[in-house]
Structure 1
């Protein structure tokens, strides 16, 4: 049956309701209550709220239409529903011309996740409140209605309520973890070493310059001494002259570190960039936590061709490695091949606008066993300032044989 046929001929029922006037404003409590009741109704297929039609008990009707000043857009109504009802109710709002009048049509569809209820106190309705349409009347939701809804969901979806997620940190199933060790990074070790060598070299240079000044002064004193003048008047043996004598205490060159002061000063200036890979390796491969998720499939069949997306709003200042960091000193072909292999197994990680997005493909989730989400665990560095915070991981699992995505939230408390 077309929308036109419903408007012109269909009687009010559990799936069809007529309203003479438009819902204004979009957050009108009657609108929120009517959508809530329709979404929970025990009918298959789409449900309709038709605005601008006055329906009478004898199934006659008057096409009133929605005047232009009362015609709100689809986005306004969606905002009202999203803010007030959970889970999300799919619907579309459009206008259709009937007998020269613009009739508003709310088409509610895909309501396969009941019970739908109020997510907050709003519009005279309390949080958790739920209503259901039966025939042409609206009733509060009862326990029997909820039991029926869950029974239908279980029968229709073999995976409904059967997928669980557990958090694994450093090979342990936990709900909390400490901050990471903040040992001195290689760049800081190098900075301290260069600073120490520079201080030693500068001190020795000062000593050398002082010694040179002392020797120059001693030479000047010797050249002006009465003894030298007296010796110059002596008749020395043939072949012996002053040029054959050396001043006692003269020093030759001393061997220091291979690099000059100028070179060391330049090294000190660029020490962070020179040791960047060393610092990253220490941070993510030696000090960071290794984090993974165990996916438990408690159904009777495999979940096939899965895609997992994990979102983490990073307001705790943590860092997640975007790749496996190879040991900087490792140069052998074996170590290179190993690093490349691990990199291929590491999940795709990107950070944007303060949010981490982690994605991974999983061939299948076997039932009755623990399935690890990532072949190579995430490297997560948690600084000391994150102590006392919580990390909220939002997981979305899609698969070829899942009727709808499985969404889970996993919380890790930082101590």
Structure 2
């Protein structure tokens, strides 16, 4: 049956309701109530709210149409529903010409996630309130209605309510964790060592200069020798040394000029060492366990995790290999095993993490990631909550599974 045939011949019912005038404004409480009732109606197929048609008890009707001044944009109505009802109700609003007049048609479709409820107070319905259309009347939703809705959903979708998620931190199930240690990174250790040796060498140079100037200020031969002077080595403060193409060498063996150059480049020189220390030694190892309590596998899964990040958290985009010390006598080490790490992207204000899972077996623990995420939580995040929004899609899931997991930082 076409929409024109419904308008001209169909009587009011559970799936069809006629309104003589348009809903104005779009946030009209009656409009919100009517859409809510239609969405919860326990009937298959599409439902229609038709405006600009006066329907009489004897099933006759008068085509009034919607005047141009009352023809609101589809977006206005969508905004009103999104702001007032949860979960989202799919619908379209369009105009059809009937007897030379424009009739407004709300088509409510694909409403397979009841019960739909108020997400905030309105003039006639309060938060958490819900109504349902039965025949041509609207009733408050009852417990029996809700039980029937869930029974129908589970019968139609074997995975409805059967997928759950738990957070794993450093190999243990957890809902909270501590911040990460902010020990001095290798580049800072090197910087402090270079400065210490530089100060030692500069002091020695100054002492030699003062001694020569005092004792040999008139001796040109000794002055020439001073210009060629190689200063003795500084104290051996640690075994840490400069990294070069031919392997490590002691900072104590370098000249003041070479040390100053190394000091300028210390961050870039030790970048990989810093990353390894941050993400492989200090960061938390984070994963999710996906539970499938249905009676069959969930096949060919894709998992997307979004983390709004306003707490300064860092997530590694790859596994950081332990930095290898290059030597003139070393040979490259072959890597035969490539460990798969989830795709991690940092966008404006959030992390986006994606990975695929061959299947979720039922009755067992399924880890989301082959290799846990490396998550560095700084001291400034203490007292905050990290909210992970997970979306699971699969070949045999009727609709995506959406979950939120909250991690409290102590």
Same fold (TM over 0.5): yes
Once the two structures are superposed, residues 331-369 of structure 1 have per-residue CA deviations (whole angstroms, 9 ceiling, x without a partner) of 66446444xx12xx1000101111111001111000011
Once the two structures are superposed, residues 152-196 of structure 1 have per-residue CA deviations (whole angstroms, 9 ceiling, x without a partner) of 111111001100101001000111111001110011001001100
Residue 48 (structure 1) shift? 0.3
Q: 1:4 to 1:330 in 2, by over 3 A?
A: farther
- Say whether residues 1:83 and 2:78 are aligned partners: no
Contact 2:275/2:320 (8 A) holds in 1: yes
Residue matched to 2:372 = 377
Contact 1:201/1:261 (8 A) holds in 2: yes
- Say whether residues 1:315 and 2:315 are aligned partners: no
Mapped partners of 1:277, 1:103: distance in 2: 67
Residue matched to 2:207 = 207
Q: Computing the radius of gyration over CA atoms, which structure comes out larger, 1 or 2?
A: 1
Residue 253 (structure 1) shift? 5.1
Contact 1:305/1:363 (8 A) holds in 2: yes
Match of 2:253, SS state, is coil
Residue matched to 2:244 = none
Residue matched to 1:114 = 114
Residue matched to 2:246 = none
Residue matched to 1:165 = 165
Residue matched to 1:246 = none
Mapped partners of 2:36, 2:287: distance in 1: 38
Contact 1:28/1:123 (8 A) holds in 2: no
Using the size of structure 1 for normalisation, the TM-score is 0.89
- Structure that is richer in helix per residue: 1
Residue matched to 2:181 = 181
Residue 330 (structure 1) shift? 5.9
Residue matched to 1:155 = 155
Residue matched to 2:272 = 277
Residue 219 (structure 1) shift? 5.8
Residue 124 (structure 1) shift? 3.0
Q: 1:42 to 1:191 in 2, by over 3 A?
A: same
Mapped partners of 2:407, 2:229: distance in 1: 66
Once the two structures are superposed, residues 42-82 of structure 1 have per-residue CA deviations (whole angstroms, 9 ceiling, x without a partner) of 11000000011110011111111111111111111010000
Residue 212 (structure 1) shift? 1.3
Mapped partners of 2:283, 2:19: distance in 1: 60
Q: Give the 5 Å matches for 1:224-243.
A: none
Residue 303 (structure 1) shift? 0.2
* The one of 360, 364, 382 aligned to 1:387: 382
- Say whether residues 1:366 and 2:361 are aligned partners: yes
Q: Give the 5 Å matches for 1:351-362.
A: 351-362=346-357
* The one of 389, 393, 405 aligned to 1:398: 393
Using the size of structure 2 for normalisation, the TM-score is 0.90
* The one of 249, 253, 256 aligned to 1:261: 256
Residue 130 (structure 1) shift? 0.1
Once the two structures are superposed, residues 181-220 of structure 1 have per-residue CA deviations (whole angstroms, 9 ceiling, x without a partner) of 1110011001001100110110010011122113315869
Residue matched to 1:103 = 103
Mapped partners of 1:275, 1:399: distance in 2: 43
Aligned residues between the structures: 382
Residue matched to 1:63 = 63
Contact 1:21/1:51 (8 A) holds in 2: yes
Once the two structures are superposed, residues 215-259 of structure 1 have per-residue CA deviations (whole angstroms, 9 ceiling, x without a partner) of 315869xxxxxxxxxxxxxxxxxxxxxxxxxxxxxx985433332
Q: Give the 5 Å matches for 1:285-364.
A: 285-329=280-324, 333-334=332-333, 336-338=335-337, 341-342=338-339, 345-364=340-359
Mapped partners of 1:50, 1:355: distance in 2: 42
Q: 1:258 to 1:334 in 2, by over 3 A?
A: closer
Mapped partners of 1:348, 1:172: distance in 2: 23
Residue matched to 1:124 = 124
Mapped partners of 2:325, 2:133: distance in 1: 69
Q: 1:54 to 1:372 in 2, by over 3 A?
A: same
Contact 1:27/1:123 (8 A) holds in 2: no
Contact 2:205/2:231 (8 A) holds in 1: no
Residue matched to 2:403 = 408
Residue matched to 1:226 = none
Match of 2:34, SS state, is helix
Q: 1:133 to 1:202 in 2, by over 3 A?
A: same
